Amino acid sequence: MVETFVKSVAGYCVATYVLGIGDRHNDNIMITDKGNLFHIDFGHILGNWKYVLGVSRERVPFVLTPDFLYVMGRIKHKNSLYFDRFKDICMQAYLSLRSQSQLLVTLYNIMMLTGMRELSTAQDMKYLREVLQEGKSQDEARRHFLEQIDLCENKGWTVQTNWWFHIVMGIK
């Protein structure tokens, strides 16, 4: 079950980062009884995130809470086999998507014709190019994504705080 959780969180983190999925609060993140984590509600993509009183609700590139890390055995920044596995899976998925960045950008350019509000400007395409580290070496891209993991690990408490406010305020 933990292995399933680790794999699904890795896929979730890479997918939500590359697609720029926002509105990642606790009502939109689900987990099955087998350990599969998944996201619902894809209304905010490509970095077009919600703001409350002029402040972005998204404080981290993707959701990697202390609770998720605890399940992976990552406590007080001490390595665990599950956390190492998580990073390996993330890196494989990220670099695989990145290797297809031209195709992804082309497909998203075609989708701009659909009239989707969140996929309508050059800025939306810029987001995709930036997260895929277009024009950078594979080593630079690898370092970039590892930095994103570190950032999420260090600021995971901000996600928990946002979730707490979400529960208290009854925000949907």
Chain segment 52-111, per-residue pLDDT in tens: 666 656 678 888 988 899 999 998 878 899 999 999 999 999 999 999 999 998 998 888
Cβ atoms of 82 and 73 closer than 8 Å: yes
- Alpha helix locations (H) across the chain? 2-19, 66-71, 81-99, 101-111, 122-131, 138-154, 156-169
| Prediction pTM value | 0.83
Distance CA 164, CA 26 (A): 9
Higher pLDDT, 2 or 114: 2
Distance CA 161, CA 113 (A): 38
Q: How is the chain split into domains, by residue range? A: 2-169
Which residues are CB-contacts of 15 (< 8 A; sequence separation ≥ 6)?
21, 39, 93
Distance CA 114, CA 140 (A): 33
Structure tokens at 129: 């190019």
Q: Give me the CATH topology for the region 2-169.
A: 1.10.1070
Distance CA 20, CA 47 (A): 5
**Residue whose pair of structure tokens reads 């350990």 in the numeric block:** 35
Distance CA 159, CA 63 (A): 7
pLDDT at position 77 is 79
* Helices 122-131/101-111 angle, 10° precision: 160
Distance CA 89, CA 91 (A): 5
Mean pLDDT of 152-166: 68
